[in-house]
A and B are shown apart, each in its own frame.
Chain A
Amino acid sequence: QQQVKQSPQSLIVQKGGISIINCAYENTAFDYFPWYQQFPGKGPALLIAIRPDVSEKKEGRFTISFNKSAKQFSLHIMDSQPGDSATYFCAAPSPGGNDYKLSFGAGTTVTVRA
């Protein structure tokens, strides 16, 4: 599996603040970069994904930015809310794999304080 490096490991943000999580990948068969949100004891749920014919995708308070030349992509959570407190994983397609064989980053635990 390819290596996907994710940072930071954890972050604490005040309600209303911005949470930023960064990921870098080595190689990928094609450009598809999803972010998953996971609550304790639950499976991951797709939050937002980008297929970079664009460099940025926004859905509500969540934005993905993608820099192909740097092989980096990031998740921005605007106006962070206590309900956003969860672990977030970035992912990228494994080289040589099919469309859905993903490698995951190590995860970032986000805590939003009221």
Chain B
Amino acid sequence: GAVVSQHPSRVICKSGTSVKIECRSLDFQATTMFWYRQFPKQSLMLMATSNEGSKATYEQGVEKDKFLINHASLTLSTLTVTSAHPEDSSFYICSASDSGVTGELFFGEGSRLTVL
């Protein structure tokens, strides 16, 4: 299947700093990517839909000023957690579709954020 790469896989930062997570589709173009958040032993919660060349669409309850999403190209979306606090510590996962080639949704390996 198609490959989606996330970087970094783990990041530890101090409270108040900002952290950027990258999501890349390695062998296909993705006009739409999705960002999820997952707490331990819980399901994936959709945070936002990232659209290439336009603003992201955020789910209800997700602070758009806290979680900045940029989808600058057909192969790259970034999530920036601004002024991170311990409660932002979580597993962040991106996904992308291959725009109908297979009709499937492919996930990255996830990024573990720990805010001290």
Contact = CB atoms under 8 A, between A and B. Distances in A.
Contact of B104 (A41, A46, A106): A46
Query: Which of the four size classes fits the interface of chain B?
Result: 20 to 34
A106 B42 CA distance: 6
Interface in A80-114: 89, 98-107, 109
Interface residues of A, number: 24
A32 B97 CA distance: 14
Nearest to B33: A100
A43 B46 CA distance: 14
Contacts of B75: none
B44 A100 contact: no
Contacts of A51: 103
Contacts of A103: 46
A89 B109 CA distance: 16
A44 B44 contact: yes
A104 B44 contact: yes
Given A98-B32, A99-B100, A41 B43 contact: no
Given A46-B1, A51-B103, 20 more contacts: A34-B104, A36-B107, A41-B112, A42-B110, A43-B4, A43-B93, A43-B108, A43-B109, A44-B44, A46-B104, A46-B107, A101-B34, A101-B46, A101-B49, A102-B34, A102-B105, A103-B46, A104-B44, A105-B43, A107-B42
Interface of A: 1, 32, 34, 36, 41-46, 49, 51, 89, 98-107, 109
